[in-house]
């Protein structure tokens, strides 16, 4: 893979070309200047509120009025697991979240309020209908499973990524697997109404296949979940992995900015706000290198705290500092993703809406310029330039003001946002 040194770090050639204003590698909002804000439209135990699709449908008007332009929905295929992440029959859309008809109604309601529906695409692995690998809908044989899988009867080619022990790893090099997945995804668009894809567990297969599937399906939006260990002593290596994956897709997908999540929660928890500025003076997450391809977030169904069982508590953001996190991601570049639990269950709805309203009013977008003013042991402050004005923000217990000419837009415990 070609690399180029930019701002002291090795980044993808595609990123370097984008920075220099070269022609976009993929049409649509993933190229930059996107004002999209996404809502994760579920949590880990949403299936227990059945049918969840009807809950989403009932919230569609409020979701649109709140300023969200996309909702990421949970896996909708028949699955061996309640949550949907052990897919069984891909083309059967009756799940613990509801029926196919209820899903279509929910998506239709979202569309009524100009909100796009993003499907959770679980294609790294699959389970059989009654045993290890008797795949139906679509029907596949042992050739569809990577050689060396824990199912010893697998006859496919070697895995192109990390293994996944709870299900059979799919052979994405196989033309039939590729063709069936493309047909299924295009059917999800044309018949069910989905607008884009959230790819689950993309470290399990090479990113080039995501590029291939996106070329064949032309989603409005695409984002991959590349979740790897973060070493805070070398965070550049972590965001370089994200850059490499984006580059492997041919620049045809965004990626969740796990680097920003890890650094941001470390900063607010331990007053280490200096971590939020890299050696080049830029944001230290993926948004500092390729913001247009970065989806920022605070928590999701995996990482979040296990309050009421809604998340798995794998890597939770400090619960009492969640709004500092949103004050950061909703004023900074990238495409922000808000967690359902924070918005609808934790009482942060109005505070988050205020931040979203400022973002939209000042035209802050996925490639907005950031000028970091201070990043030390008590505060982080930055000025972000939008298409309709500028935003100044501060998080942390330390004092900071942007000076004369600014108007306080919103504030809360240890955060404030001004407009100009």
pLDDT for position 22 = 37
Cα 298 to the chain's mean position, in Å?
10
Residue appearing with tokens 């679980």? 122
- Average pLDDT rounded to a whole number, residues 295-306: 93
**200-223 mean pLDDT:** 98
Tell me: pLDDT of 396 over 60.
yes
Average pLDDT for residues 57-83, to the nearest whole number? 98
Q: Which of 240, 238, 259, 237 is nearest to 248 (CA)?
A: 240
Token code pair at residue 100: 């196919």
pLDDT reported for residue 229? 96
110 within 8 A of 116, measured Cβ to Cβ: yes
Alpha carbon distance 208, 251 (integer Å): 10
The owner of tokens 């599937």 is: 213
Spell out where 16-150 has E strands.
38-40, 70-72, 78-79, 87-89, 116-121, 125-126
pLDDT band at 189 (very low <50, low <70, confident <90, very high): very high
Q: Which DSSP string corresponds to 283-336? A: BSSTHHHHGGGEEEES--TTTS--GGGSS--SSPPPGGGHHHHHHHHTTSSSEE
Over residues 127-166, the pLDDT tens digits come to 999 999 999 999 999 999 999 999 999 999 999 999 999 9
Distances (CA, A) of 373 to 83, 257, 359, 380: 43, 22, 19, 8
In the DSSP assignment, the letter for residue 143 is G
Query: What was the pLDDT predicted at 305?
Result: 80
* Strands 380-385 and 369-375, bridge-based pairing: antiparallel
In this prediction the pTM is 0.94
For strands 125-126 and 168-169, give the pairing.
antiparallel
Q: What confidence tens digit (pLDDT) does each residue in 4-20 have?
A: 223 334 455 454 544 44
What's the confidence (pLDDT) of residue 28? 58
CATH code linked to domain 38-363:
3.20.20.80
Q: For the chain, give the percent of residues with pLDDT over 70.
A: 93
- What Å distances lie between residue 293 and 128, 237, 250, 336, CA to CA? 35, 17, 12, 11
Task: Report how far residue 211's alpha carbon sits from residue 315's, in angstroms, rounded to the nearest whole number.
Answer: 29
Q: Does residue 31 or residue 294 have the better pLDDT?
A: 294
Do residues 273 and 283 make contact, with C-beta atoms less than 8 angstroms apart? no
Cβ count near 116 (within 10 Å): 22
Given phi > 0 = left and psi -120 to 50 = alpha, else beta, which region is 302?
A: alpha
CA 193 – CA 417 distance, rounded (Å) = 37
- Return all residues near 83 (Cβ < 8 A) that are at least 6 apart: 44, 47, 74, 75, 96, 301
For range 371-386, the mean pLDDT: 98
What mean pLDDT comes out for the span 371-392?
A: 98
Residue with tokens 């004002």: 35
Domain boundaries, the chain: 38-363
Q: For the chain, what is the mean pLDDT?
A: 93
Q: How far apart are CA 330 and CA 84, in angstroms?
A: 29
Q: What is the pLDDT of residues 339-378, one digit of tens each?
A: 999 999 999 999 999 999 999 999 999 999 999 999 999 9
Cα dihedral across residues 406, 407, 410, 412: positive or negative: positive
Catalytic residues: 200, 225
**What's the whole-number mean pLDDT along residues 264-273?**
98
**Which residue(s) pair with 296 in the sheet?**
336
Q: How far apart are CA 91 and CA 332, in angstroms?
A: 38
Mean pLDDT on 120-130: 97
pLDDT (mean) for 34-47: 97
Q: pLDDT by residue (tens digit) across 73-92?
A: 999 999 999 999 999 999 99
Dist CA 143 CA 155 (whole Å): 5
């Amino acid at each position: 893979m070609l690399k180029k040194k930019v701002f002291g770090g090795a980044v993808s050639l595609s990123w370097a070309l984008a920075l220099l204003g070269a022609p976009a590698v993929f049409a649509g909002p993933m190229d930059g200047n996107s004002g999209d804000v996404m809502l994760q439209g579920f949590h880990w135990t949403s299936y227990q509120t059945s049918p969840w699709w009807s809950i989403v449908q009932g919230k569609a008007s409020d979701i649109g009025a709140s300023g969200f332009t996309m909702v990421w929905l949970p896996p909708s295929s028949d699955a061996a697991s309640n949550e949907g992440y052990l897919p069984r029959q891909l083309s059967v859309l009756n799940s613990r979240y509801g029926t196919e008809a209820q899903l279509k109604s929910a998506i239709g309601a979202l569309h009524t309020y100009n909100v796009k529906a993003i499907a959770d695409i679980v294609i790294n692995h699959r389970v059989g209908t009654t045993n290890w690998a008797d795949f139906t809908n679509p029907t596949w044989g042992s050739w569809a499973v990577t050689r060396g899988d824990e199912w010893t009867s697998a006859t496919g080619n070697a895995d192109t990524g990390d293994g996944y022990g709870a299900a059979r790893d799919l052979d994405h090099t196989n033309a039939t697997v590729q063709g069936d997945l493309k047909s299924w995804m295009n059917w999800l668009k044309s018949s069910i109404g989905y607008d884009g894809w959230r790819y689950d567990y993309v470290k399990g297969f090479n990113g080039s296949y995501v590029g291939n599937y996106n070329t064949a399906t032309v989603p409005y939006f695409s984002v991959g979940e590349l979740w790897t260990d973060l070493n805070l002593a070398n965070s550049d290596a972590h965001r370089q992995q994200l850059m490499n994956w984006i580059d492997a897709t041919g620049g045809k997908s965004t990626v969740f900015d796990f680097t920003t999540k890890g650094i941001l929660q470390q900063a607010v928890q331990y007053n280490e706000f200096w971590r939020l500025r890299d050696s080049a003076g830029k944001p230290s997450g993926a948004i500092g290198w390729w913001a247009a391809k970065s989806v920022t977030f605070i928590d999701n169904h995996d990482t979040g705290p296990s309050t009421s069982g809604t998340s798995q508590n794998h890597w939770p953001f400090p619960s009492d500092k969640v709004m500092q996190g949103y004050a950061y991601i909703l004023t900074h570049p990238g495409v922000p993703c808000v967690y359902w639990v924070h918005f609808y269950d934790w009482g942060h709805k109005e505070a988050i809406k205020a931040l979203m309203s400022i973002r939209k009013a000042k035209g802050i977008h996925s490639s907005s310029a950031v000028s970091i003013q201070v990043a030390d042991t008590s505060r982080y402050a930055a000025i972000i330039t939008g298409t309709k004005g500028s935003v100044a923000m501060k998080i942390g217990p330390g004092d900071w003001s942007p000076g004369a000419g600014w108007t306080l837009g919103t504030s809360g415990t240890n955060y404030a946002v001004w407009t100009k």
